[in-house]
Amino acid sequence: MDKYAAVRKKFPGSFREKVPASSFTTYRAGGPVDILVSPGGACEAVWLLRHCAEKELDFFITGESSNILVSDGGFPGVFIYTGAMKNFFFSGEIAAAECGCPWDALVGESVARGLAGLEKTSHIPGSVGGAVYMNAGAYGQETFDRLLSFSAFDLETFKMAEIKKEETRYSYRKVEGIERYFILSASFLLETGGKEKLLAERLEIARRRKEKQPLEYPSAGSVFKRPPGDYASRLIDSCGLKGLKLGGAMVSEKHAGFIINYDKASAADIRALMLKVKEEVLKKTGVSLELEQILVGKFDE
Ligand SMILES: Cc1cc2nc3c(=O)[nH]c(=O)nc-3n(C[C@H](O)[C@H](O)[C@H](O)COP(=O)(O)OP(=O)(O)OC[C@H]3O[C@@H](n4cnc5c(N)ncnc54)[C@H](O)[C@@H]3O)c2cc1C
């Protein structure tokens, strides 16, 4: 019996089977996900989530897959890609966007409108949903700095929810309890700033990212969170690990915080290198690095 028959029927346009994660994740690694499907809006997304629960189908929500590593064995379930839910709009100083809107499209538009508050997060890859989930940030600005609220489907109560920022507990790259929500959209309060200055800042950030990050190779950004009072990349560099290779994975020589897929790395290569770096840094500095990236599927360790 085809356990995905109803999903196939409901999403004839976007339903795809056995899609290699190496074809859609920014790491360009990982095995096949059973089903990749892209709801066109909140109603379709909620139908799918309810259906997965009812039929006991595993699912995973993804935006641009820029912060995940899928195992070589893949994922035995439904990957819900939010990319078709990508509208955004502005009303005065408020910006609102659906979960699948590329984060940088929202930032770019706010800068073009002379609205300040997100400009330092320019060019972070990923979606609005991913940015809220991760409390993504850069150069001193974080997603939650400007968040007003997000609307979501609550995977515990199976009800719609509107969550105000004040009701959440968030910190650097962490939002407590966020796993229970399918984030559908989010709104942000910006402030009128000098457009020319914001545009210049956005350009400068693009330049710095290009200069400091190995953007010419597949990766998923910083592997580890910043430990209190330090930088993971500084610690990794101080342990002499830049350029360390395992299979096709390598600690970037440009930015020690990144692991790059420099030559057809398997997910196992990348995961083994993550563990090696963590072990070496602990041994040499006493600091236990915490993974920022999200592992999907089974890894042998
Ligand atoms: C070159 C490069 C540079 C990067 N630089 C930065 C940086 O400067 N700062 C930074 O913070 N990050 C950075 N990242 C990491 C990444 O881009 C961010 O974490 C981004 O916010 C992830 O968004 P995404 O849509 O790709 O999420 P995904 O990778 O698809 O998912 C990440 C997590 O969010 C969950 N999720 C996604 N969408 C939803 C939703 N709608 N509802 C519920 N859960 C959801 C997923 O289930 C998963 O657990 C970088 C990555 C790369 C490749």
Q: How confident is the model at residue 28 (pLDDT cuts 50, 70, 90)?
A: very high
What is residue 291's DSSP assignment? B
Domain range annotation of the chain: 5-81, 88-211, 214-296
Does domain 5-81 fall under CATH 1.10.260.40? My reply is no
Q: Closest Cα to atom 35, ligand 1: which residue?
A: 130
Torsion angles phi and psi, residue 175, rounded to 5 = -130, 115
Cβ atoms of 217 and 261 closer than 8 Å? yes
Q: Just list the catalytic residues.
A: 173, 222, 292
The alpha carbon of 121 and the centre of ligand 1 are apart by a number of angstroms equal to: 12
* DSSP codes joined into one string, 36-52: EE--SSHHHHHHHHHHH
Q: What is the interface pTM, i.e. ipTM, of the complex?
A: 0.99
Q: Which CATH class is domain 88-211?
A: alpha beta
pLDDT confidence of 42, banded at 50, 70, 90? very high
Q: What is the pLDDT of residue 193?
A: 86
Asked if residue 130 has pLDDT above 90, the reply is yes
Amino acid found at 47: W
**Residue 113: how many other CB atoms lie within 10 Å:** 15
CB 129 within 8 A of CB 99: yes
pLDDT (tens digit, 9 = 90+) per residue, 80-124?
999 999 999 999 999 999 999 999 999 999 999 999 999 999 999
CATH 3.90.78.10 assigned to domain 214-296? The reply is yes
99 Cβ closer than 6 Å to some ligand 1 atom: yes
Q: Which residue, by CA, sits nearest to atom 14 of ligand 1? A: 221
**Residue (of 143, 133, 136, 8) closest to 78 by Cα position:** 8
Question: Does the pLDDT value for residue 135 go beyond 80?
Answer: yes
- Residue 235 vs residues 58, 63, 140, 288: alpha-carbon distances, Å: 37, 30, 20, 11
> Is the pLDDT assigned to residue 284 strictly greater than 90?
yes
Q: Are strands 32-37 and 75-81 parallel, antiparallel or unpaired?
A: parallel
Q: How far apart are CA 27 and CA 148, in angstroms?
A: 31
DSSP assignment of 162-199 equals EEEGGG--EETTEETTGGGEEEEEEEEE-EE--HHHHH
- Cβ-contact 124, 138 below 8 angstroms: yes
The answer on pLDDT for 1 being more than 80 is no
- The alpha helices in 55-120, defined as continuous H runs, are 103-112
User: Does residue 155 have its Cβ closer than 6 Å to ligand 1?
Assistant: no
C-alpha–C-alpha distance, residues 49 and 9, integer Å:
15
- Distance CA(81)–CA(204), nearest Å, equals 31
Q: Which residue has the least CA distance to atom 27 on ligand 1?
A: 130
Would you state the pLDDT for residue 300?
Answer: 84
Cα(203) to ligand 1 centroid in Å equals: 22
The tokens describing 239, both together, are 């342990």
The pLDDT of residue 301: 72
Q: How far is residue 175's CA from residue 135's CA, in Å, rounded to a whole number?
A: 7
Q: How many CB atoms lie within 10 A of CB 132?
A: 28
